Amino acid sequence: MSRVEALRALIKEHECDAYLITDSDGHYTFYSLSEEDRRLNWITECQAQCGLAIVTLNNKAFFQVPPNYRFLAKVEVNTDVWTLGDDIVQWINNQQLSLKRIAYDPRLTPLFIIEQFSALASSLYPIHSSNNWIDIISKKETSSEPSKLTPIWPLDEFRFAGQTSIEKDLQYEIRPYESFFAFLSTLKDQDVWLDERTSVIVLHHLSSTGVVRISRSPIQQMKEIKNSVELEGFRQCHFRDCAAVCQTFEWLQKSMENDALNVTELDVAKYLESRQREQVDFISIAFDTISASATNTALIEYSPFARKTKTLIARDLFYLDGGGNYLDGTTDMTRTLHFGQATQEQIQCYTLALKAILFIEMTGFPCDDTLTGCYIHSLLRAQFASINNSNEHISFGHGVSHGMGVVEGGIFISDSPSLATSTPIRPGMVIAIEPGIYFEGKWGIRLENVYEVIEDDQRFIHFIPLTLLPYSRPLIDVNLLSSEELKWINVYHQRCLQYVDGGTWMKQEIDLFL
């Protein structure tokens, strides 16, 4: 029996019409789920790190896939079983499905998902059980496999806290985790503010309270604005992480010159991590390094750890997307390289991605509420107007957290309904901008810098690059760049040389521009 059919058996047993599967754990951990909490990955057999799925009793199943995972899902998901799309509620309406009882796990379903389903005639039915239905099925399949323990943070790193939580003069009480829901039931006749990403089960335990307000958490909004110490940490850790990237590219260049070495995508990812681990105050990689070549470059979130890895060949494009968690900040970068002769189309696309980067850096934006990720996306999208191909996908960026998750959920440079937010971009934010273009089944190109957002005296917003890595001269058509853009690149490269110990590779790459 397949995984989906096993789930349908449970749906039938509980007299329901469908079951909803989210991408969340009980705390809406974003992009950093443990293996045990990757229930959406397990049921869809796809490595996409976010999305939403529904399995119905009548042989239909839908996987709501964010744009950046669309090509990956087409490769990994069995489309005889799953329909892929970007709006699960619209799909239910279009299919005219009579789903009177949609079961879901209230511990793992955030409030904003329930709000999305409020327009349906269907009734969402919470399953109050300690056993999630996906867990029941998966444990039967993997019961013989030993449990794996994954270290989250070396214990000795807590020495950097300065004071223990007990010593700090903060107005709160520490209670056992298990007593949380019992505590909620004591909040009688009190008004409560819940973040829209809070699990539904929390709302269920607040039934005897006063007014419950559901909206974005003010804590999340405060986290998005970094203080001066955090910002200085971001600058310093980027200097070190970029040095590790340069060391990796220098090793890779020499390896590609020696055809007998047969370097794989996974080899490059592991080598980068080994260089990052040598840097001061390194904690862990921020995410599984994306090291992709040839057709894998079209899979935006490709992981050489999860799929059969390719051997790098000089005639193919290659890009490396990696990041690190350091005690003083988090990094995220992407650079695309070609060790042979790129096609004219590839050179054009790389140059357009570079022009999008330059546009962000060279433009001052009014500091008002219209400056959202969706608005920035529309401006960046215009840089690719000359590309006319229905099989392409263009993506742009996200906020960056300080050591607690490389993707910060409040800001997305996107117009996707599942990602776009109305949060205005403000000084003190740290944002990754990653213009890229991907042709399904062929190849993709991406550039990514992390930026510090500042405000000038005239209240204009500027994006100052924290990532300091040279661009690839062989992939640039200088005829598409203005003299001002070329000057900007040269100034940027001087900053790279000034702040990053980039070794021979960095100097050689920059010398190609002179």
User: Hunting for tokens 């440079």 — which residue is that?
Assistant: 413
On whether both 231 and 210 belong to a single domain, the answer is no
Residue 457: strand, helix, or coil: coil
Residue 36, both tokens: 């045990």
On whether both 369 and 428 belong to a single domain, the answer is yes
On whether both 245 and 329 belong to a single domain, the answer is yes
Q: How many residues does the chain have?
A: 514
Please work out, in degrees rounded to the nearest 5, the angle formed at the alpha carbon of residue 205 by the alpha carbons of 199 and 207: 115
User: Hunting for tokens 């200085």 — which residue is that?
Assistant: 232
Tell which of 85, 115, 140 closes a domain. 140
- Angstrom CA distances, 152 to 34, 41, 285, 386, stand at 10, 21, 11, 45
Tell which of 215, 236, 268 closes a domain. 215
On whether both 119 and 241 belong to a single domain, the answer is no
On whether both 111 and 210 belong to a single domain, the answer is no
- Single out the residue of 19, 25, 28, 71 nearest to residue 48, CA to CA: 71
Residue 374 one-letter amino acid: C
Does residue 145 lie in a domain region? no
On whether both 251 and 378 belong to a single domain, the answer is yes
φ/ψ (deg, to 5) at 290: -95, 105
Pairing between β-strand 408-413 and β-strand 317-322 as defined by DSSP bridges: unpaired
On whether both 104 and 240 belong to a single domain, the answer is no
Pairing between β-strand 212-215 and β-strand 192-195 as defined by DSSP bridges: parallel
Does residue 282 lie in a domain region? yes
On whether both 388 and 337 belong to a single domain, the answer is yes
Residue 309, both tokens: 């890895």
Does residue 148 lie in a domain region? no
Does residue 273 lie in a domain region? yes
CATH code for the domain in which residue 432 is found: 3.90.230.10
Full domain range(s) for residue 466: 224-511
On whether both 185 and 229 belong to a single domain, the answer is no
How many CA atoms, within 13 angstroms, populate the side-chain half-sphere of residue 257?
Answer: 6
User: Hunting for tokens 């203080």 — which residue is that?
Assistant: 227
Provide the number of structural domains found in the chain: 3
> Is the pTM of the predicted complex or chain greater than 0.75?
yes
Residue 330: strand pairing partners: 325
Residue 38: strand pairing partners: none
Q: pLDDT tens-digit profile of 178-192?
A: 999 898 888 888 889
Tell which of 215, 237, 269 closes a domain. 215
| Predicted confidence pLDDT, tens digits, the chain (514 residues) | 799 999 999 999 999 999 999 998 988 876 678 888 999 999 999 988 889 999 999 989 999 998 888 899 999 999 999 999 989 999 999 999 989 999 999 999 999 999 999 888 778 999 998 899 999 999 866 554 555 666 655 555 455 666 666 676 666 777 898 999 898 888 888 889 999 889 999 998 887 777 888 888 888 889 999 999 999 999 999 999 999 999 999 999 999 998 768 999 999 999 999 999 999 999 999 999 999 999 999 998 898 987 789 999 999 999 999 999 999 999 999 999 999 999 999 999 999 999 999 999 999 999 999 999 999 999 998 888 888 665 566 778 899 988 767 888 778 888 776 666 788 999 999 999 999 999 999 999 999 999 999 999 999 999 999 999 999 999 999 999 999 999 999 999 999 999 999 999 999 999 999 7
Residue 61: strand pairing partners: 55
Residue 153, both tokens: 């943070």
Q: How far apart are CA 68 and CA 415, in angstroms?
A: 12
On whether both 457 and 478 belong to a single domain, the answer is yes
Does residue 334 lie in a domain region? yes
On whether both 247 and 376 belong to a single domain, the answer is yes
Task: Dihedral sign for Cα 75, 76, 82, 86, please.
Answer: negative
On whether both 19 and 127 belong to a single domain, the answer is yes
Does residue 397 lie in a domain region? yes
Does residue 387 lie in a domain region? yes
CATH code for the domain in which residue 28 is found: 3.40.350.10
CB 337 within 8 A of CB 290: no
Q: How far apart are CA 156 and CA 148, in angstroms?
A: 22
φ/ψ (deg, to 5) at 243: -65, -40
Q: How far apart are CA 469 and CA 510, in angstroms?
A: 10
φ/ψ (deg, to 5) at 155: -60, -35
Q: How far apart are CA 118 and CA 338, in angstroms?
A: 49
Q: How far apart are CA 346 and CA 326, in angstroms?
A: 34
Interacting residues of 362 by C-beta distance below 8 A, sequence separation 6+: 484, 485, 488
Neighbour tally for 213: CB within 10 Å: 8
Does residue 321 lie in a domain region? yes
Neighbour tally for 176: CB within 10 Å: 8
